[in-house]
Amino acid sequence: MPATDPLIPPSMRDGARRIADALKSVDRVLVTGHVHPDGDALGSMAAAAHILQTLGKRWALFADVPVPPHLESLPLPGPVLTEPASLPFKPESALLLDFNDTSRLAPKLAPLPDIPVVNVDHHLAPNGGLGTIANWLVPEAAATAQLVAYVALTLDLPLQGDMAEALLHGIVSDTGGFLHGNTGADVLRLAAHIVEQGCDMSALRNRMRNTWTLGQMRLWSRLMGNVTLLRHDGIAFCSVSRQDMEETGTGPDGTEGFVEQMRQLRGVAVTALLREDKDRCKFSLRSQGETDVQAVAARFGGGGHRNAAGGELFTSLEEAKDTLIKALEAMPLLQA
């Protein structure tokens, strides 16, 4: 029978039921999100662990890196392990959240052992997903946490306590605080329900915001001065070098949110942040309205959504800057 909770859109009820049934059938579950997990990936992982706990399953959270400082306020039901050897059991199944391509799987887990896999994600999925027993890939969803919430509701679990906060953290993260174009009525209804169930939105937002260091503020000061405008001021571009981060005592996490900050520039349709890493450069793209930055990211093997995407370039910072700017200047800028 399909899920019937009124908070779950009719088009998503069968999918939520399939994932709920799949989770009932597995145990000793490795729960992981994409590499360098963001708020949606980590929030989805935490909430899924609560669901598995309620179902009486053993589970372990895994990521390729420790929880970054800007996500430390997110309530976790257990430690996030970063080494396969530290797992408390040999995984008999896996739950992959917020990614659907092997390129986004932690290298330490690749290839996954021959075990049942459940895959839930809200990104475009040309390959049909990584699940061997269940896939639920819904690009029109605002966040993977939104889908995990629907699974919980299908199982008649109340969206309360730490699970609810993890879900709301993921939703707030991937909607940009309900400002992005993916913020539809369905996800707003879900967020309102979570607040009605006792989650303090104001307190959660304060915990999400109050994570800065003085070094990050100094880094952003540099970045503000590095912003350039392209294409008749329709594109805002900024690059950050490893030297910038080293001299301000920050790391990659120090750039978190800056690509969103640039969206506040008047008349800008696209923003791009290019960050130098050890052996590559990583880029984040954002856009307004119908302008499709996912198409640009896809040219370089990246992905995401129409208004939020990213990827990597395996060149020097200067070469990556030239390559990315050429691609951005060639893309159509559509009216919001």
Which tens digits make up the pLDDT trace of 1-56?
Answer: 446 689 999 999 999 999 999 999 999 999 999 999 999 999 999 999 999 999 99
Q: What is the per-residue pLDDT across 119-153, written as a single tens digit (0 to 9) for each?
A: 999 987 777 899 999 999 999 999 999 999 999 99
- pLDDT for the residue 194: 97
Q: How far apart are CA 269 and CA 283, in angstroms?
A: 17
pLDDT, tens digit, 9 for 90 and up, residues 207-223: 998 889 999 999 999 99
Residue 190 confidence (pLDDT):
98
- Superfamily the domain 10-208 falls into: inorganic pyrophosphatase (n-terminal core) (3.90.1640.10)
At 1 the pLDDT is 41
Determine the CATH number of domain 215-330.
3.10.310.30
Beta bridge partners of 126: none
How much is the pLDDT for 2? 46
CA distance 273 to 122: 23
Q: Given the DSSP bridges, would you call strands 59-62 and 29-33 parallel, antiparallel or unpaired? A: parallel
The residue extents of the domains of the chain are: 10-208, 215-330
Distance CA 97, CA 42 (A): 9
Q: At what angle do helices 185-196 and 144-154 cross, to 10 degrees?
A: 60
Q: Is the pLDDT confidence value at 115 over 90?
A: yes
Question: What pLDDT is recorded for position 289?
Answer: 82
Angle at 48 between CA 63 and CA 17, to 5 degrees: 135
Q: How far apart are the first and last CA of the chain?
A: 40
